[in-house]
Structure 1
Amino acid sequence: MIINKQPAGIQYLGENGLTESCKQAVIQLIHFGEAIEEVKILTAEGEHSNSHGLLLTVGYGTQIAIKNGFSSGYPGEGPRGYAFILNLLSKYTENIGEYIVHHKIIQRLCNSALTIHDIESINLLQKIKPARWYDFVPYKKEDRPAVFHEFPLTIPMALIDNRLIEIALDFVDNPDNSILNAYRKIESIVRGRSKLTHESSTKLFAKAFQGDESILYWENLDSGENKGRASLFTSTFMAYRNNRAHQEPKHNLDDDIREFLLINQLFILEREAIIREVITVE
Protein backbone atom coordinates (compact mmCIF):
# COMPACT_ATOMS: atom_id res chain seq x y z
CA MET A 1 0.00 0.00 0.00
CA ILE A 2 1.31 3.44 -0.94
CA ILE A 3 1.24 5.82 2.05
CA ASN A 4 0.76 9.44 1.06
CA LYS A 5 3.00 11.47 3.34
CA GLN A 6 2.27 14.72 1.58
CA PRO A 7 1.03 17.54 3.87
CA ALA A 8 -2.72 17.44 4.38
CA GLY A 9 -3.02 21.13 3.49
CA ILE A 10 -5.56 21.89 6.19
CA GLN A 11 -5.82 24.87 8.51
CA TYR A 12 -4.46 24.65 12.07
CA LEU A 13 -5.74 26.81 14.91
CA GLY A 14 -4.76 27.23 18.53
CA GLU A 15 -1.43 26.70 20.26
CA ASN A 16 -0.31 23.29 21.41
CA GLY A 17 -0.83 22.85 25.16
CA LEU A 18 -2.54 26.24 25.58
CA THR A 19 -6.18 25.61 26.43
CA GLU A 20 -7.33 29.21 26.18
CA SER A 21 -5.80 29.62 22.71
CA CYS A 22 -7.54 26.49 21.43
CA LYS A 23 -10.82 27.46 23.08
CA GLN A 24 -10.77 30.93 21.53
CA ALA A 25 -10.01 29.40 18.13
CA VAL A 26 -13.27 27.43 18.23
CA ILE A 27 -15.21 30.45 19.53
CA GLN A 28 -13.93 32.61 16.68
CA LEU A 29 -14.91 30.02 14.07
CA ILE A 30 -18.47 29.90 15.36
CA HIS A 31 -18.71 33.63 16.02
CA PHE A 32 -17.79 34.46 12.44
CA GLY A 33 -20.29 32.09 10.93
CA GLU A 34 -18.62 28.76 10.20
CA ALA A 35 -21.19 25.95 10.08
CA ILE A 36 -19.91 23.08 12.21
CA GLU A 37 -20.86 19.85 10.45
CA GLU A 38 -18.79 17.30 12.37
CA VAL A 39 -16.49 17.19 15.39
CA LYS A 40 -13.83 14.53 15.73
CA ILE A 41 -12.21 14.48 19.17
CA LEU A 42 -8.69 13.15 18.69
CA THR A 43 -7.56 11.38 21.86
CA ALA A 44 -4.00 10.14 22.20
CA GLU A 45 -3.53 6.46 22.84
CA GLY A 46 -1.92 4.89 25.92
CA GLU A 47 -0.39 7.01 28.65
CA HIS A 48 -1.46 10.24 26.94
CA SER A 49 -5.15 9.30 26.79
CA ASN A 50 -6.19 12.39 28.77
CA SER A 51 -4.90 14.66 25.99
CA HIS A 52 -7.25 15.85 23.22
CA GLY A 53 -7.22 17.78 19.97
CA LEU A 54 -10.06 18.36 17.52
CA LEU A 55 -10.66 17.88 13.82
CA LEU A 56 -13.63 19.98 12.73
CA THR A 57 -15.50 19.63 9.47
CA VAL A 58 -17.09 22.93 8.46
CA GLY A 59 -18.89 24.16 5.34
CA TYR A 60 -18.20 22.41 2.03
CA GLY A 61 -16.42 19.58 3.83
CA THR A 62 -13.42 21.69 4.80
CA GLN A 63 -11.49 20.26 7.74
CA ILE A 64 -9.84 22.44 10.38
CA ALA A 65 -7.55 21.08 13.08
CA ILE A 66 -7.57 22.49 16.61
CA LYS A 67 -4.32 21.70 18.32
CA ASN A 68 -3.80 19.60 21.39
CA GLY A 69 -4.90 22.10 24.05
CA PHE A 70 -7.57 20.13 25.89
CA SER A 71 -7.33 17.50 28.59
CA SER A 72 -9.52 15.44 30.89
CA GLY A 73 -9.47 13.34 34.02
CA TYR A 74 -8.18 15.88 36.56
CA PRO A 75 -9.02 19.38 37.83
CA GLY A 76 -7.50 22.27 35.98
CA GLU A 77 -7.70 24.67 33.05
CA GLY A 78 -7.38 21.94 30.39
CA PRO A 79 -10.39 19.91 31.56
CA ARG A 80 -12.45 23.08 32.15
CA GLY A 81 -11.70 24.23 28.62
CA TYR A 82 -12.54 20.76 27.28
CA ALA A 83 -15.92 20.81 29.04
CA PHE A 84 -16.59 24.33 27.80
CA ILE A 85 -15.84 23.55 24.18
CA LEU A 86 -17.83 20.31 24.13
CA ASN A 87 -20.77 22.16 25.64
CA LEU A 88 -20.47 24.83 22.94
CA LEU A 89 -20.03 22.49 19.98
CA SER A 90 -22.93 20.28 21.07
CA LYS A 91 -25.25 23.25 20.46
CA TYR A 92 -24.26 23.37 16.80
CA THR A 93 -24.02 19.72 15.81
CA GLU A 94 -24.98 16.29 17.10
CA ASN A 95 -22.28 14.74 14.93
CA ILE A 96 -19.60 14.52 17.63
CA GLY A 97 -17.38 11.50 18.16
CA GLU A 98 -14.19 10.59 19.96
CA TYR A 99 -11.42 8.68 18.20
CA ILE A 100 -8.26 7.07 19.58
CA VAL A 101 -5.27 7.95 17.42
CA HIS A 102 -1.58 7.04 17.50
CA HIS A 103 0.52 9.40 19.58
CA LYS A 104 2.59 10.26 16.50
CA ILE A 105 -0.53 11.66 14.83
CA ILE A 106 -1.05 13.87 17.88
CA GLN A 107 2.57 14.98 17.59
CA ARG A 108 2.10 15.91 13.94
CA LEU A 109 -1.12 17.71 14.86
CA CYS A 110 0.83 19.76 17.41
CA ASN A 111 3.45 20.56 14.75
CA SER A 112 0.89 21.55 12.07
CA ALA A 113 2.18 18.62 10.03
CA LEU A 114 -0.63 16.14 9.53
CA THR A 115 -0.30 14.19 6.31
CA ILE A 116 -2.90 13.16 3.79
CA HIS A 117 -2.47 9.61 5.11
CA ASP A 118 -3.16 10.83 8.68
CA ILE A 119 -6.43 12.45 7.64
CA GLU A 120 -7.47 9.39 5.64
CA SER A 121 -6.67 7.15 8.62
CA ILE A 122 -8.64 9.33 11.03
CA ASN A 123 -11.63 9.40 8.69
CA LEU A 124 -11.65 5.57 8.63
CA LEU A 125 -11.61 5.16 12.43
CA GLN A 126 -14.63 4.00 14.38
CA LYS A 127 -15.77 6.37 17.11
CA ILE A 128 -15.61 5.23 20.73
CA LYS A 129 -18.84 3.64 21.94
CA PRO A 130 -20.47 4.32 24.26
CA ALA A 131 -19.59 7.96 23.88
CA ARG A 132 -17.53 9.34 26.74
CA TRP A 133 -17.58 13.01 25.88
CA TYR A 134 -21.11 13.42 27.27
CA ASP A 135 -19.63 13.05 30.73
CA PHE A 136 -17.91 16.42 30.35
CA VAL A 137 -20.94 18.47 29.32
CA PRO A 138 -22.67 20.26 32.25
CA TYR A 139 -25.84 18.55 33.38
CA LYS A 140 -27.51 21.68 34.75
CA LYS A 141 -29.44 23.45 32.00
CA GLU A 142 -28.83 26.83 33.64
CA ASP A 143 -25.07 26.33 33.23
CA ARG A 144 -25.18 25.62 29.51
CA PRO A 145 -25.97 29.12 28.12
CA ALA A 146 -22.91 30.46 29.97
CA VAL A 147 -20.68 29.42 27.07
CA PHE A 148 -21.95 32.36 25.04
CA HIS A 149 -20.75 34.84 27.67
CA GLU A 150 -17.22 34.32 26.39
CA PHE A 151 -18.02 35.29 22.80
CA PRO A 152 -16.50 38.56 21.56
CA LEU A 153 -18.47 41.70 22.32
CA THR A 154 -18.62 43.33 18.89
CA ILE A 155 -21.00 45.33 16.73
CA PRO A 156 -22.54 43.07 14.02
CA MET A 157 -21.55 45.29 11.13
CA ALA A 158 -23.64 43.38 8.59
CA LEU A 159 -26.78 44.62 10.38
CA ILE A 160 -25.80 48.28 10.63
CA ASP A 161 -27.57 50.93 8.58
CA ASN A 162 -25.21 52.40 5.98
CA ARG A 163 -25.53 55.87 7.49
CA LEU A 164 -24.21 54.57 10.80
CA ILE A 165 -21.18 52.69 9.48
CA GLU A 166 -18.57 55.38 10.14
CA ILE A 167 -19.88 55.91 13.66
CA ALA A 168 -19.93 52.15 14.25
CA LEU A 169 -16.28 51.90 13.20
CA ASP A 170 -15.36 54.32 15.99
CA PHE A 171 -17.41 52.42 18.56
CA VAL A 172 -14.52 50.26 19.83
CA ASP A 173 -12.43 53.30 20.79
CA ASN A 174 -15.21 55.39 22.32
CA PRO A 175 -18.62 53.72 22.74
CA ASP A 176 -20.21 56.62 24.63
CA ASN A 177 -19.21 59.19 22.02
CA SER A 178 -20.36 56.94 19.18
CA ILE A 179 -23.76 56.41 20.79
CA LEU A 180 -24.28 60.14 21.36
CA ASN A 181 -23.25 60.86 17.76
CA ALA A 182 -25.76 58.27 16.57
CA TYR A 183 -28.52 59.99 18.56
CA ARG A 184 -27.54 63.36 17.08
CA LYS A 185 -27.52 61.96 13.57
CA ILE A 186 -30.98 60.39 13.74
CA GLU A 187 -32.33 63.68 15.10
CA SER A 188 -30.69 65.60 12.27
CA ILE A 189 -32.07 63.23 9.64
CA VAL A 190 -35.63 63.37 10.96
CA ARG A 191 -35.42 67.13 11.40
CA GLY A 192 -34.32 67.52 7.80
CA ARG A 193 -37.03 65.28 6.36
CA SER A 194 -39.84 66.72 8.47
CA LYS A 195 -38.74 70.38 8.12
CA LEU A 196 -39.18 70.76 11.90
CA THR A 197 -36.05 72.83 12.15
CA HIS A 198 -36.66 74.20 15.65
CA GLU A 199 -37.64 70.96 17.39
CA SER A 200 -35.40 68.41 19.05
CA SER A 201 -35.48 65.13 20.97
CA THR A 202 -38.88 63.75 21.95
CA LYS A 203 -40.83 66.76 20.68
CA LEU A 204 -39.27 66.35 17.26
CA PHE A 205 -40.20 62.67 17.01
CA ALA A 206 -43.69 63.22 18.40
CA LYS A 207 -44.48 65.85 15.76
CA ALA A 208 -42.75 63.93 12.98
CA PHE A 209 -44.25 60.46 13.55
CA GLN A 210 -47.22 60.53 15.91
CA GLY A 211 -50.86 61.06 15.00
CA ASP A 212 -53.01 60.32 12.00
CA GLU A 213 -51.71 63.43 10.24
CA SER A 214 -48.03 62.91 11.06
CA ILE A 215 -45.43 64.18 8.62
CA LEU A 216 -43.74 60.77 8.35
CA TYR A 217 -45.50 57.43 8.49
CA TRP A 218 -45.19 53.79 7.47
CA GLU A 219 -47.24 52.80 4.47
CA ASN A 220 -49.47 49.71 4.52
CA LEU A 221 -49.46 49.54 8.34
CA ASP A 222 -52.55 50.14 10.44
CA SER A 223 -52.70 53.06 12.86
CA GLY A 224 -51.76 50.88 15.84
CA GLU A 225 -48.54 49.68 14.21
CA ASN A 226 -47.66 53.21 13.13
CA LYS A 227 -48.24 54.43 16.66
CA GLY A 228 -46.07 51.67 18.07
CA ARG A 229 -43.18 52.47 15.75
CA ALA A 230 -43.49 56.18 16.45
CA SER A 231 -43.39 55.50 20.18
CA LEU A 232 -40.07 53.68 19.80
CA PHE A 233 -38.39 56.96 18.87
CA THR A 234 -39.73 58.98 21.78
CA SER A 235 -39.36 56.11 24.26
CA THR A 236 -35.75 55.41 23.28
CA PHE A 237 -34.76 59.03 23.77
CA MET A 238 -36.61 59.27 27.08
CA ALA A 239 -35.27 55.99 28.42
CA TYR A 240 -31.67 56.14 27.20
CA ARG A 241 -30.49 59.25 25.40
CA ASN A 242 -31.46 61.84 28.02
CA ASN A 243 -29.74 59.94 30.81
CA ARG A 244 -26.57 59.44 28.76
CA ALA A 245 -26.43 63.05 27.62
CA HIS A 246 -26.55 64.50 31.13
CA GLN A 247 -24.39 62.09 33.13
CA GLU A 248 -20.85 60.77 33.11
CA PRO A 249 -20.44 57.48 31.16
CA LYS A 250 -21.03 54.54 33.48
CA HIS A 251 -22.29 51.83 31.15
CA ASN A 252 -20.63 48.50 30.45
CA LEU A 253 -19.82 47.33 26.94
CA ASP A 254 -22.73 44.86 26.86
CA ASP A 255 -25.23 47.66 27.50
CA ASP A 256 -23.50 50.00 25.08
CA ILE A 257 -23.76 47.50 22.23
CA ARG A 258 -27.43 46.83 22.96
CA GLU A 259 -28.16 50.56 23.01
CA PHE A 260 -26.29 51.14 19.76
CA LEU A 261 -28.30 48.39 18.08
CA LEU A 262 -31.50 49.96 19.41
CA ILE A 263 -30.53 53.27 17.78
CA ASN A 264 -29.67 51.35 14.62
CA GLN A 265 -33.23 50.06 14.59
CA LEU A 266 -34.47 53.65 14.66
CA PHE A 267 -32.37 54.37 11.58
CA ILE A 268 -33.93 51.38 9.82
CA LEU A 269 -37.45 52.47 10.76
CA GLU A 270 -36.76 56.04 9.65
CA ARG A 271 -35.50 54.77 6.29
CA GLU A 272 -38.75 52.85 5.77
CA ALA A 273 -40.95 55.82 6.66
CA ILE A 274 -42.34 58.00 3.88
CA ILE A 275 -43.50 61.62 3.82
CA ARG A 276 -47.26 61.99 4.01
CA GLU A 277 -48.79 63.75 1.04
CA VAL A 278 -50.78 66.79 2.01
CA ILE A 279 -54.11 66.96 0.20
CA THR A 280 -55.25 70.52 -0.37
CA VAL A 281 -58.87 71.39 -0.90
CA GLU A 282 -59.47 74.08 -3.52
Structure 2
Amino acid sequence: MANVNGNGKYFEIKCKSNTNLRLNVAEGSIKPGAPVNVWPDHSGENQVWYEDPLTGTVRSRRTNLCLDVDNNGDLCMQPYQKSNHDQKWRYNRSKGVLENIMNPQKIIVAEGAGKVAGAKVIVQNYEGDAGQRWIIECKPPIYFRLLNENPDDGTFRILEVKGDKGKAGLKVIASRPTARITDSQLWFENHMGNLACKNNGKLTLDGSTDFQVTLREYNGELTKNFWAIIGNKIVNKDDHNEVLEASDVQMNRDGSNNINGLNNRDVPINNRDDILFISIYITCLSYNFLTRIYDND
Protein backbone atom coordinates (compact mmCIF):
# COMPACT_ATOMS: atom_id res chain seq x y z
CA MET A 1 0.00 0.00 0.00
CA ALA A 2 1.53 3.25 -1.13
CA ASN A 3 2.84 5.57 1.58
CA VAL A 4 1.63 3.33 4.41
CA ASN A 5 4.19 1.82 6.78
CA GLY A 6 3.35 -0.74 9.46
CA ASN A 7 -0.08 -2.13 10.10
CA GLY A 8 -1.45 -1.04 13.48
CA LYS A 9 -4.70 0.83 14.02
CA TYR A 10 -3.11 4.08 15.20
CA PHE A 11 -0.93 6.24 12.99
CA GLU A 12 0.81 9.57 12.58
CA ILE A 13 0.21 11.74 9.51
CA LYS A 14 3.43 13.27 8.16
CA CYS A 15 3.85 16.02 5.59
CA LYS A 16 5.48 14.51 2.52
CA SER A 17 7.32 17.76 1.83
CA ASN A 18 8.77 17.80 5.38
CA THR A 19 8.51 14.43 7.09
CA ASN A 20 9.49 15.86 10.49
CA LEU A 21 6.15 17.71 10.61
CA ARG A 22 3.02 15.90 11.81
CA LEU A 23 -0.68 16.64 11.71
CA ASN A 24 -1.16 18.00 15.20
CA VAL A 25 -3.97 19.20 17.46
CA ALA A 26 -2.71 22.68 18.36
CA GLU A 27 -1.26 23.00 21.87
CA GLY A 28 -2.49 19.53 22.74
CA SER A 29 -6.01 20.86 23.31
CA ILE A 30 -8.72 18.37 24.24
CA LYS A 31 -11.59 20.81 23.70
CA PRO A 32 -14.08 20.68 20.81
CA GLY A 33 -13.24 23.34 18.24
CA ALA A 34 -9.49 23.05 18.79
CA PRO A 35 -7.54 24.04 15.63
CA VAL A 36 -5.27 21.65 13.76
CA ASN A 37 -1.79 22.54 12.52
CA VAL A 38 1.48 20.83 11.59
CA TRP A 39 4.20 20.55 14.22
CA PRO A 40 7.50 18.70 14.67
CA ASP A 41 7.27 15.17 16.02
CA HIS A 42 7.12 15.11 19.83
CA SER A 43 5.56 11.64 20.38
CA GLY A 44 2.40 13.15 21.87
CA GLU A 45 -1.02 11.54 21.52
CA ASN A 46 -2.33 14.77 19.98
CA GLN A 47 -0.32 13.66 16.91
CA VAL A 48 -1.77 10.14 16.82
CA TRP A 49 -4.88 9.32 14.78
CA TYR A 50 -7.10 6.46 13.72
CA GLU A 51 -9.74 5.78 11.09
CA ASP A 52 -13.21 4.95 12.37
CA PRO A 53 -14.54 2.66 9.62
CA LEU A 54 -18.16 2.68 10.83
CA THR A 55 -18.50 6.47 10.72
CA GLY A 56 -16.03 7.31 7.92
CA THR A 57 -14.13 9.70 10.18
CA VAL A 58 -10.51 10.29 11.20
CA ARG A 59 -10.22 10.72 14.96
CA SER A 60 -7.68 11.77 17.55
CA ARG A 61 -6.46 8.90 19.71
CA ARG A 62 -6.31 11.24 22.71
CA THR A 63 -9.89 12.56 22.59
CA ASN A 64 -11.81 10.50 19.97
CA LEU A 65 -12.86 13.84 18.45
CA CYS A 66 -13.16 13.93 14.66
CA LEU A 67 -11.37 16.00 12.05
CA ASP A 68 -13.84 18.68 10.95
CA VAL A 69 -13.89 21.97 9.03
CA ASP A 70 -14.88 25.28 10.58
CA ASN A 71 -16.70 28.14 8.85
CA ASN A 72 -13.40 29.57 7.58
CA GLY A 73 -12.35 26.35 5.89
CA ASP A 74 -9.76 25.56 8.58
CA LEU A 75 -9.39 22.11 10.09
CA CYS A 76 -10.57 21.65 13.69
CA MET A 77 -11.68 18.93 16.12
CA GLN A 78 -15.35 18.25 16.87
CA PRO A 79 -17.57 15.49 18.31
CA TYR A 80 -19.04 13.12 15.74
CA GLN A 81 -22.14 14.31 13.89
CA LYS A 82 -23.77 11.71 11.68
CA SER A 83 -24.97 14.08 8.95
CA ASN A 84 -21.84 16.26 8.84
CA HIS A 85 -20.05 15.62 5.55
CA ASP A 86 -17.14 17.83 6.66
CA GLN A 87 -16.16 15.00 9.02
CA LYS A 88 -15.97 12.32 6.30
CA TRP A 89 -12.28 11.83 5.49
CA ARG A 90 -10.06 9.01 4.26
CA TYR A 91 -6.51 8.53 3.13
CA ASN A 92 -6.22 7.93 -0.62
CA ARG A 93 -3.18 5.70 -0.80
CA SER A 94 -2.66 5.98 -4.54
CA LYS A 95 -2.60 9.80 -4.47
CA GLY A 96 -1.15 10.18 -0.99
CA VAL A 97 -3.82 12.70 0.03
CA LEU A 98 -6.45 13.05 2.74
CA GLU A 99 -9.65 13.43 0.75
CA ASN A 100 -13.27 14.05 1.62
CA ILE A 101 -15.33 10.88 1.15
CA MET A 102 -18.34 12.78 -0.17
CA ASN A 103 -16.28 15.09 -2.43
CA PRO A 104 -12.83 13.60 -3.21
CA GLN A 105 -11.71 16.80 -4.96
CA LYS A 106 -11.67 18.45 -1.53
CA ILE A 107 -8.48 17.54 0.34
CA ILE A 108 -6.68 18.45 3.55
CA VAL A 109 -3.49 20.49 3.11
CA ALA A 110 -1.07 22.43 5.30
CA GLU A 111 -0.49 26.06 4.37
CA GLY A 112 2.94 26.79 2.95
CA ALA A 113 3.07 23.39 1.23
CA GLY A 114 3.56 21.66 4.57
CA LYS A 115 7.07 22.98 5.14
CA VAL A 116 6.60 25.40 8.05
CA ALA A 117 6.04 24.36 11.68
CA GLY A 118 2.86 25.81 13.12
CA ALA A 119 1.18 26.27 9.75
CA LYS A 120 -2.57 25.84 9.95
CA VAL A 121 -4.29 23.05 8.07
CA ILE A 122 -7.03 23.90 5.60
CA VAL A 123 -9.22 22.37 2.89
CA GLN A 124 -8.39 22.96 -0.78
CA ASN A 125 -9.18 21.50 -4.18
CA TYR A 126 -6.92 18.68 -5.32
CA GLU A 127 -4.21 19.83 -7.74
CA GLY A 128 -1.69 16.99 -7.46
CA ASP A 129 1.07 19.12 -5.95
CA ALA A 130 3.66 17.49 -3.68
CA GLY A 131 2.72 19.99 -0.95
CA GLN A 132 -0.75 18.43 -0.76
CA ARG A 133 0.53 14.95 0.03
CA TRP A 134 0.86 13.08 3.29
CA ILE A 135 2.53 9.91 4.52
CA ILE A 136 0.80 7.59 6.98
CA GLU A 137 3.18 6.14 9.59
CA CYS A 138 1.40 3.35 11.47
CA LYS A 139 2.14 2.39 15.05
CA PRO A 140 2.83 -1.29 15.88
CA PRO A 141 -0.29 -3.44 16.24
CA ILE A 142 -1.89 -3.90 19.67
CA TYR A 143 -2.81 -7.57 20.06
CA PHE A 144 -5.73 -8.86 22.09
CA ARG A 145 -7.98 -11.86 22.57
CA LEU A 146 -11.68 -11.64 21.80
CA LEU A 147 -13.83 -13.28 24.46
CA ASN A 148 -17.49 -14.14 24.08
CA GLU A 149 -19.54 -14.50 27.25
CA ASN A 150 -22.46 -16.90 27.47
CA PRO A 151 -25.14 -14.85 29.29
CA ASP A 152 -26.79 -18.03 30.60
CA ASP A 153 -23.88 -19.43 32.58
CA GLY A 154 -21.16 -16.75 32.44
CA THR A 155 -18.64 -19.01 30.67
CA PHE A 156 -16.33 -17.65 28.02
CA ARG A 157 -15.16 -18.70 24.58
CA ILE A 158 -12.40 -17.12 22.53
CA LEU A 159 -12.26 -16.22 18.87
CA GLU A 160 -9.65 -18.48 17.30
CA VAL A 161 -8.36 -19.56 13.91
CA LYS A 162 -8.62 -23.31 13.49
CA GLY A 163 -4.95 -24.00 12.79
CA ASP A 164 -1.71 -22.12 13.48
CA LYS A 165 -0.49 -21.72 9.91
CA GLY A 166 -2.27 -18.46 9.15
CA LYS A 167 -3.46 -19.54 5.71
CA ALA A 168 -6.31 -18.04 3.74
CA GLY A 169 -9.47 -20.11 3.93
CA LEU A 170 -8.95 -21.40 7.48
CA LYS A 171 -12.10 -21.45 9.60
CA VAL A 172 -12.62 -19.09 12.52
CA ILE A 173 -14.26 -20.69 15.55
CA ALA A 174 -15.26 -19.88 19.12
CA SER A 175 -13.43 -22.29 21.42
CA ARG A 176 -12.88 -22.76 25.14
CA PRO A 177 -9.99 -20.67 26.54
CA THR A 178 -6.71 -22.47 27.13
CA ALA A 179 -3.77 -21.69 29.40
CA ARG A 180 -1.48 -21.39 26.37
CA ILE A 181 -2.07 -18.32 24.22
CA THR A 182 -1.19 -18.80 20.56
CA ASP A 183 -1.00 -16.40 17.64
CA SER A 184 -4.16 -17.97 16.25
CA GLN A 185 -6.02 -16.53 19.29
CA LEU A 186 -4.61 -13.02 18.98
CA TRP A 187 -6.19 -10.27 16.90
CA PHE A 188 -5.54 -6.63 16.12
CA GLU A 189 -7.18 -3.70 14.38
CA ASN A 190 -5.21 -2.69 11.29
CA HIS A 191 -4.73 0.82 9.94
CA MET A 192 -8.24 0.77 8.43
CA GLY A 193 -9.86 -0.52 11.64
CA ASN A 194 -10.45 -3.96 10.14
CA LEU A 195 -9.90 -6.96 12.43
CA ALA A 196 -6.93 -9.09 11.43
CA CYS A 197 -5.22 -12.16 12.89
CA LYS A 198 -1.70 -12.04 14.34
CA ASN A 199 -0.52 -15.23 12.67
CA ASN A 200 -0.97 -13.55 9.29
CA GLY A 201 -1.62 -9.83 9.46
CA LYS A 202 -2.77 -9.67 5.83
CA LEU A 203 -5.77 -11.90 6.55
CA THR A 204 -9.05 -10.56 7.89
CA LEU A 205 -12.38 -12.07 8.88
CA ASP A 206 -14.61 -13.00 5.97
CA GLY A 207 -18.26 -14.06 6.12
CA SER A 208 -18.81 -14.50 2.40
CA THR A 209 -19.20 -18.27 2.77
CA ASP A 210 -22.65 -19.20 4.07
CA PHE A 211 -22.71 -20.40 7.70
CA GLN A 212 -18.95 -20.06 8.19
CA VAL A 213 -16.41 -17.32 8.91
CA THR A 214 -12.94 -17.81 7.44
CA LEU A 215 -9.73 -15.87 6.90
CA ARG A 216 -9.23 -14.00 3.64
CA GLU A 217 -6.91 -11.30 2.32
CA TYR A 218 -8.97 -8.12 2.33
CA ASN A 219 -10.97 -7.44 -0.82
CA GLY A 220 -12.83 -4.15 -0.83
CA GLU A 221 -15.33 -5.43 -3.38
CA LEU A 222 -16.72 -8.00 -0.92
CA THR A 223 -19.47 -6.97 1.47
CA LYS A 224 -18.59 -9.33 4.35
CA ASN A 225 -14.81 -8.87 4.52
CA PHE A 226 -14.55 -5.86 6.86
CA TRP A 227 -15.44 -6.39 10.52
CA ALA A 228 -14.93 -3.72 13.16
CA ILE A 229 -15.39 -3.55 16.92
CA ILE A 230 -18.09 -1.21 18.17
CA GLY A 231 -19.05 -1.34 21.83
CA ASN A 232 -19.35 -5.05 22.68
CA LYS A 233 -20.11 -6.20 19.13
CA ILE A 234 -18.15 -7.13 16.01
CA VAL A 235 -20.00 -5.34 13.20
CA ASN A 236 -19.95 -5.60 9.42
CA LYS A 237 -18.75 -2.23 8.07
CA ASP A 238 -20.98 -2.55 5.02
CA ASP A 239 -24.09 -3.56 6.97
CA HIS A 240 -24.18 -2.29 10.53
CA ASN A 241 -27.12 -4.55 11.35
CA GLU A 242 -24.99 -7.64 10.75
CA VAL A 243 -22.81 -8.84 13.63
CA LEU A 244 -20.74 -11.91 14.43
CA GLU A 245 -22.44 -14.40 16.73
CA ALA A 246 -20.78 -17.14 18.73
CA SER A 247 -23.13 -20.11 18.54
CA ASP A 248 -22.93 -23.49 20.30
CA VAL A 249 -24.64 -25.20 17.37
CA GLN A 250 -24.19 -23.96 13.84
CA MET A 251 -26.30 -25.33 11.01
CA ASN A 252 -24.58 -26.17 7.75
CA ARG A 253 -26.24 -26.28 4.36
CA ASP A 254 -26.43 -30.06 4.52
CA GLY A 255 -28.23 -29.91 7.88
CA SER A 256 -25.22 -31.04 9.94
CA ASN A 257 -23.89 -29.11 12.96
CA ASN A 258 -20.54 -27.50 13.72
CA ILE A 259 -20.01 -27.30 17.48
CA ASN A 260 -18.40 -24.04 18.64
CA GLY A 261 -18.80 -22.54 15.16
CA LEU A 262 -18.98 -18.82 14.49
CA ASN A 263 -21.64 -17.55 12.14
CA ASN A 264 -23.01 -14.17 11.17
CA ARG A 265 -26.51 -13.02 11.93
CA ASP A 266 -28.74 -10.26 10.60
CA VAL A 267 -30.03 -8.17 13.48
CA PRO A 268 -33.27 -6.25 12.75
CA ILE A 269 -32.94 -2.52 13.39
CA ASN A 270 -35.57 -2.58 16.12
CA ASN A 271 -33.63 -5.30 17.97
CA ARG A 272 -30.14 -3.80 17.77
CA ASP A 273 -30.03 -2.93 21.47
CA ASP A 274 -31.34 -6.34 22.54
CA ILE A 275 -28.51 -8.64 21.51
CA LEU A 276 -27.37 -10.43 24.65
CA PHE A 277 -26.16 -13.31 22.49
CA ILE A 278 -23.40 -10.95 21.28
CA SER A 279 -21.38 -10.07 24.35
CA ILE A 280 -17.84 -9.54 23.09
CA TYR A 281 -15.15 -8.37 25.47
CA ILE A 282 -11.68 -7.30 24.37
CA THR A 283 -8.75 -8.55 26.40
CA CYS A 284 -5.46 -6.88 25.53
CA LEU A 285 -2.20 -8.82 25.79
CA SER A 286 0.63 -6.31 26.02
CA TYR A 287 3.91 -7.96 26.99
CA ASN A 288 2.92 -10.02 30.06
CA PHE A 289 0.32 -7.56 31.35
CA LEU A 290 -3.30 -8.64 30.94
CA THR A 291 -6.07 -6.06 31.23
CA ARG A 292 -9.50 -5.24 29.88
CA ILE A 293 -9.99 -2.56 27.24
CA TYR A 294 -13.40 -1.04 26.72
CA ASP A 295 -14.51 0.94 23.67
CA ASN A 296 -14.44 4.64 24.62
CA ASP A 297 -16.55 5.85 21.72
Higher strand proportion, which one?
A: 2
Q: Same fold (TM over 0.5)?
A: no
With the shorter chain as reference, the TM-score category is under 0.3
Question: Which has the greater radius of gyration?
Answer: 1
Give the TM-score of the pair, scaled to structure 2.
Answer: 0.23
Give the TM-score of the pair, scaled to structure 1.
Answer: 0.24
